Amino acid sequence: MSRPSLLNFNKISDERGNLTYIQFPDHIPFKIKRVYWIYDVPSGQTRGGHAFKTQKEVIICLSGSVEVYVSDGKIEESYTLNRPFTALYVPIMTWRQLRNFSTNSVVMILNSDYYKEEDYIHEYSMFSTYE
């Protein structure tokens, strides 16, 4: 998958509530090496604002809602995530920024690799001209 795309996971519902699961390679296009989550974001704050050279991500809003802006330098898109069984796949070399966090939102991010500062591109101008 070379474009950002929405993933819909199974939701198992019964009288005890709902359950959603993901496992590689059935539901996610990479092996997960890292998971982090973002929460208690003050109103008006943004997160992200970077691209990865080699890392892929899946962003899931487990509670509340968030807007994810993505750009490959040419095509800009914005996705609203507000269901815990829907996620956004973000391929490599995609500028992404998380905006408009609702109160008490919790956003979980699955990543294909370990944390490596050298894999980040922090400047949009560098990103859009990166070869």
- By the rule CB under 6 A, 34 interacts with ligand TYD: yes
The site that binds ligand TYD (CB under 6 A) totals a number of residues, namely: 6
Kind and range of the H or E element at 35? strand 34-39
10 phi/psi in degrees, rounded to 5: -70, 145
Residues marked active site are found at 50
One residue of 24, 37, 39, 115 binding ligand TYD per CB under 6 A: 115
Which range touches ligand TYD (CB under 6 A), out of 14-22, 31-39, 57-65, 77-85? 31-39
Kindly report the number of other CB atoms within 10 A of residue 5's CB atom. Answer: 13
- By the rule CB under 6 A, 38 interacts with ligand TYD: yes
Distances (CA, A) of 95 to 10, 16, 90, 102: 28, 39, 9, 22
Q: What residue ranges bind ligand TYD (CB under 6 A)?
A: 34, 36, 38, 47-48, 115
